[in-house]
Structure 1
Amino acid sequence: MIDLSNIERYKENNRLEAKKATGGLPESLWETYSAFANTLGGIILLGVEEREDKSLHPVDLPDPEWLLSDFWDIINDKRKVSRNILTNDDVQIKRIEGKHIIVITVPKLKKGEEPIYTGGSVYTGTYKRNGDGDYKCSVEEVAEMLRRK
């Protein structure tokens, strides 16, 4: 877990992603969830923005409880995300600098588990993490993941 009291010291990387999310859950959230699960795991911060200097700063979510409810509804919808691997302990509302954020800790999939994918298709909706970004896996990469299953 990162020290949220010093959030400005962190930058996005292969295990950390910040999303402002003040207008609701961003579509890219599900790609990042897939990428973290399929790579090394990681932490997604909702209500945190990345500034031009790449530092992270909380922005205060207007209604974090509603956002959490929406999050659980979507992550358990197989049309949107293939599988929910999170528990209640993995998703928490925190206060930093007097502002509410949501911290989502995504574990790495266990060896032999089918990849997490979005949009109903393992071949077009599987992502991996590379540096500070998510990328869509090729058909060959997905086939290799499925072979290891």
Structure 2
Amino acid sequence: MLRLESEEDLIILRENSSIECKSGVGKDGHGELPKDFWPTYSYFANTHGGIVLLGLKEIGDKFAILGVRDVDKIRKDLFNNLNNRQKVSVNILEDDHVTEHVINGKVIVKIEIPRASRSQRPVFLSENPFGRHTFKRLNEGDVALSEPDR
């Protein structure tokens, strides 16, 4: 289980096939769901699930706490897009999958993405699973799957 209670918890934190950290501060510095969140959502949903942490920036082998000021904006953007079939094929998140954790007075948003059920997979972006809209994970990166031979 991933603990987010103190700076000490961040010392041992490493991105891997089930944890992804993103700044999430946006252009105005208040908070924004990063555009590169969506390939990660697709990957985690299509495989074994995972956690996205917003409000952290990787510097070397450590994470700096940037924090997210407007969590409500992030939640609203997240769920509006999850329920938009032109953005993503299926919403597998519920409210309790998105939690806030305060470290040193700064908010980190934790988004737990479960594995999609067999009937929901593949989870893809846009309205078409082909054309590089479905993702898998290679090491720490999300890679678009190519269209199958027809």
TM above 0.5: yes
Partners of 2:54 and 2:67 within 8 A in 1: no
| SS at structure 2 position matched to 1:105 | strand
Residue 76 of structure 1 corresponds to which residue in structure 2?
83
Q: Which runs of 4+ in 1 moved over 4 A?
A: none
Provide TM-score, normalisation by structure 2. Answer: 0.86
Unpaired segments of 5 or more residues in structure 1?
A: 144-149
Q: Which one of 133, 136, 142 corresponds to residue 144 of structure 2? A: 136
Give per-residue Cα distances to partners, 1:81-130, cap 9 Å, x unaligned: 11100111111122122211110001112335321111221012100112
Between the aligned partners of 1:86 and 1:54, the Cα distance in structure 2 is 30
Residue 19 of structure 1 corresponds to which residue in structure 2?
22
| Aligned partner letter, 2:42 | S
Partners of 1:9 and 1:56 within 8 A in 2: no
Q: How many residues align?
A: 141
Shift of residue 137, structure 1, vs aligned partner? 1.0
Higher helix share: 1
Provide TM-score, normalisation by structure 1. Answer: 0.87
Unpaired segments of 5 or more residues in structure 2?
A: 27-31
- Aligned residues with identical type, % of pairs: 35
Partners of 1:16 and 1:43 within 8 A in 2: yes
Aligned Cα root-mean-square deviation (Å): 1.7
